[in-house]
Chains A and B, each alone.
Chain A
Amino acid sequence: MELVCPAGALPALKAAVDHGADWVYLGLRDDTNARNFPGLNFDEAALAAGLAYAHARGRKVLMAVNTYPQAANWPRWTAAVDRAARLGADAIIVADAGLMRYACRAHPRLELHLSVQGSATSYEAINFFHEHFGVKRAVLPRVLSLAQVEQVARRTPVEIEVFGFGGLCVMVEGRCLLSAYACGEAPNLSGACSPAHAVRWHETGAGLESRLNGILIDRYAAGERAAYPTVCKGRYAAGNDTYYAFEEPASLNTLELLPEFARIGVRAVKIEGRQRSPAYVAQVTRVWREAIDALKGGRFAPRTEWQAALARHAEGSQTTLGAFSRPWK
């Protein structure tokens, strides 16, 4: 099983490589990828340096071009694909079907991975992208149970990659317009969910308030742990109940499922967090590297120190197995 780790900049890429990532994924400094945050991501020089650093150590680099272009900005996306091919990225992660066709025609040797933003939740969808564009690997949306992942893996020749750790979307990726609805920008078209410029924190008499484009997402009493105000992590009122209407803020942590992933044929585990620090990347990568190596050794049990290290990096105060275990079933 391969380990796929995030890099928001060169120091994080080096941390991922140094601590055992098989693949590092990154994006350019614009809206062609789903972590279009100010100060984050790679320009051409940093990309070239990152590729050189990873390749010198036998690791691979994936470039995410995984937002949806429109007629007016289409050339920016094709230029990103061309740049990945020219500089020697080992694969690109793409969501849009039209862009995928461009990539496979213009760069037939460039490996294609289907992004989680492509919303392919069934083998029928994944096989569509395989038959038409030769997609080699698909990243599954974080909505499927383990049994469903197994069904998908059995019925497709495409390698299956799942999210193992990090921030958690409760909605199907690529199908969520909540951020665009609230503030005008969302992952599909803008590469950002709750962009920082639309977020405001206010200390008020009633508590700490988080707002997105002026809309109250949550209000925290003293001592409550505040979460970044994405629409799906807010507290709202239904009738007389005010509660986390979608999900309590929590991070995904599937370390204990690694043997199950291996058994059902998952080919790669992905760590979320291109927006996180190099220290996060280093420590999370190290733990997952050790865990995957222990799995190869045949006797696997999640070590307490692994879980403790991961818990320090969880968003919110708790971790969850998410859809894999479906506690809400």
Chain B
Amino acid sequence: MKLALGPLLYYWPRSVVLGFYDEIADSPADVVYLGEVVCSRRHEVTFEDWLAVGERLAAAGKEVVLSAQALTESEGDLKLVRRAAANGRFRVEANDWGAARILAGTPGWVAGPHLNVYNPATLALVAELGATRWVAPVEATRELVAGMLGERPAGMQAEVFGYGRMPLAMSARCFTARRYDRQKEDCGYACLEHPDGMMLATREGQPFLAVNGVQTLSAGVYCLADELEALAATGVDLLRVSPQWHDTADVLFALRAACDGALGSFDARKALAALAPGALWNGFWHGHAGVRSP
């Protein structure tokens, strides 16, 4: 099982981002997804920065993929997608059908988790358009993934979201700006103050959601450390880890050890529980509510 580090979903200061990927260069991640997928207002890290980070990671032996923004609303958003698609150096992850149209015919693009590829017919379609990797939607059950890979197109890899706060929803509206009574276009970049998302608890104090600008994530952390054998048996090639403010490299080391059998699933879960910014949940994989624990 290879390990993939998904795109950074949060908004961090530029120096922190660059330092973070220096650390990732020495981590056991095999594939690293780069780029801003959540909000086009975020500008700490420029496109040129992302390309430079990509070169640094490629030199360290990582496969680099540029991820396209998940929600495109304006011509400006589409320009960002086209620029990523035309980068000429790295593969690109499409996160909507507009990006798929732009990438069609380019060999080796990645059908991202927001593209809604839920069945073999749609997987066959993206394969014909040149995709060579499918990232399952985060709500995918084992049954869904197994059904998909029972009819796997030739050369298609499968990646499953395996660790991190679950990306659950996107909106045109910015909920971090709303918290501060700011307009979206005058948000003051409040996301910088919430490097793991802004926690929302229920009115009885149960941690429930994490707000990340226009994106809503789970408060708990998805963790498939107990399911590594099942994932491999199902034919999954890559496990995606989503970046978090602290200890992302340690998460990758723990999962690498677990995949290699150097760490049992009990110990892996214990190690990850100590590193996670919330409770560990895995309901989706088992066909339950996402909030469920093993």
A binds B: yes
Residues of A within 8 A of B (CB): 68-72, 74, 95-99, 101-102, 118-125, 127-129, 131-132, 143-145, 148, 151, 170-172, 174-178, 180-184, 186, 188-189, 213, 215-219, 231-232, 234-238, 241-242, 245-247, 323, 326, 328-329
Closest 6 pairs between A and B when the two form their complex, measured CB to CB: A71-B147, A98-B121, A124-B98, A98-B122, A143-B172, A181-B290
Check A328 against B96 for contact (C-beta < 8 Å). no
Bound: A101/B118 CA distance, A:
14
Known contacts A69-B118, A70-B118, A181-B291, A328 near B125 by CB under 8 Å = no
Q: Mark B138-154, 1 if CB is under 8 A from A, else 0.
A: 11000110111011000
Write out the residue numbers on chain B whose beta carbons fall within 8 Å of the beta carbon of A95: 116
Q: Which residue of A lies closest to B168 (CB)?
A: A177
A238 contacts which of B147, B174, B211, B283 (Cβ < 8 Å)? Answer: B211
Given contacts A122-B73, A181-B289, A328-B184, contact A171 B144 (CB under 8 A): no
Asked if B40 is at the interface (CB within 8 A of a chain A CB), the reply is: no
Q: Are A246 and B122 in contact (CB under 8 A)?
A: no
What sequence of 0s and 1s flags, for each residue 169-210 of chain B, a beta carbon within 8 Å of any chain A beta carbon? Answer: 111111101110001110000000000001111111110110
B206 touches A176 (CB 8 A): no
Q: Are A236 and B139 in contact (CB under 8 A)?
A: no
Does the CB pair B211–A71 fall under 8 Å?
Answer: no
Count A/B pairs, Cβ under 8 Å. 225
Q: Does the CB pair B283–A128 fall under 8 Å?
A: no
CA distance A183 to B177 in the complex (A): 28
For A123, list chain B residues within 8 Å (CB): 98
| Most chain A CB atoms below 10 A, which of B96, B138, B178 | B96
| Minimal beta-carbon separation of B186 from chain A (angstroms) | 9
Q: Say yes or no: A69-B98 contact (C-beta < 8 A), given A121-B72, A215-B208.
A: no
Q: Which residues of chain A are within 8 angstroms of B147 by Cβ–Cβ distance? A: 70-72
B228, CB-defined interface residue at 8 Å: no
Q: Is A328 within 8 A of B208, CB to CB? A: no
A175 and B70 in contact (CB under 8 A), knowing A180-B284, A188-B116? yes
Among A96, A124, A144, A219, which residue has the most Cβ atoms of chain B within 10 A?
Answer: A124
- The smallest C-beta distance from A201 to any residue of chain B, in angstroms, reads 15
Instruction: Indicate which residue in B81, B119, B199 contacts A96 across the interface (CB closer than 8 Å).
Output: B119
Q: Which of A102, A123, A151, A238 has the most CB of B within 10 A?
A: A238
* Contact assessment for B171 and A119 in the assembled complex, using a CB-CB cutoff below 8 Å: no
Note all chain B residues with C-beta closer than 8 A to A71: 119-120, 144, 146-148, 150-151
B218 contacts A181, C-beta separation under 8 Å: yes
Q: How far is the CA of A218 from the CA of B175 in the complex (A)?
A: 18
CA distance in complex: A181, B218 (Å): 8
- Shortest beta-carbon distance, A174 to chain B, in Å? 6
| B105 CB-CB contact with A under 8 Å | no
B111 to chain A, nearest CB (A): 10
Question: Does chain A have a CB within 8 A of B114?
Answer: yes
Q: List 27 A-B contacts (CB under 8 A).
A: A69-B118, A71-B119, A71-B151, A96-B118, A96-B122, A98-B121, A99-B121, A118-B116, A120-B96, A121-B98, A143-B173, A144-B172, A145-B172, A148-B74, A151-B75, A171-B170, A171-B171, A174-B116, A175-B114, A175-B170, A176-B169, A180-B139, A181-B168, A215-B208, A236-B201, A245-B179, A246-B173
Chain A residues near B179 (CB-CB < 8 A): 238, 241, 245
Interface residues, chain B, CB within 8 Å of chain A?
A: 70-75, 77-78, 81, 96-102, 104, 114, 116-125, 137-139, 143-144, 146-148, 150-151, 166, 168-175, 177-179, 183-185, 198-206, 208-209, 211, 216, 218, 283-284, 287-291
Residues of A within 8 A of B284 (CB): 180-181
Say yes or no: A175-B169 contact (C-beta < 8 A), given A96-B116, A125-B96, A184-B288: yes
Closest to A185 in B: B289
B289 near A184 (CB under 8 angstroms)? yes
Name B96's contact: one of A121, A182, A217 (CB within 8 Å).
A121
A311 to B151, alpha carbons, bound, how many Å? Answer: 51
Contacts A97-B117, A241-B179 aside, 6 further interface pairs with beta carbons under 8 A come to A71-B144, A122-B72, A124-B81, A180-B284, A182-B290, A184-B283
Q: Are A72 and B143 in contact (CB under 8 A)?
A: yes
Question: With A and B bound together, what is the CA distance between A241 and B139 in angstroms?
Answer: 30
Provide the residues of chain A in CB contact with B172, threshold 8 Å: 143-145, 172, 323, 326
Closest residue of A by beta carbon distance from B70: A175
Q: Bound complex: CA of A183 vs CA of B114, how far in Å?
A: 21
Across-interface contacts of A128 in B (CB, < 8 A): 97-98, 100-101, 104
CB of B170 within 8 A of CB of A237, answer no
Contacts A98-B121, A121-B73 given: A237-B98 contact, CB under 8 Å?
no
Among B119, B139, B175, the most chain A Cβ lie within 10 Å of the Cβ of B119
Q: Which chain B residue shows the least CB distance to A151?
A: B75
With A98-B125, A184-B287 in contact, is A189–B71 under 8 Å at CB?
A: no
Closest residue on chain B to residue A169 by CB atoms = B171
State the CA gap A64–B211 with chains docked (Å).
32
Residues of A within 8 A of B148 (CB): 70-71
| Whole-angstrom distance between the Cβ of B42 and the nearest chain A Cβ | 17
Q: Is the CB of A236 within 8 A of B209?
A: yes
A122 near B119 with CB under 8 A, answer no
Docked complex Cα distance between A248 and B99 (Å): 33
Residues of A near B125 (CB, < 8 A) are 97-98, 101, 132
B170: A residues at CB distance < 8 A = 171-172, 175-176
With A235-B203, A323-B172 as known contacts, state yes or no: A183 contacts B289, CB within 8 Å.
yes
Report the separation of the CA atoms of residues A48 and B261 in the bound assembly, to the nearest whole angstrom: 59
A125 to chain B, nearest CB (A): 4
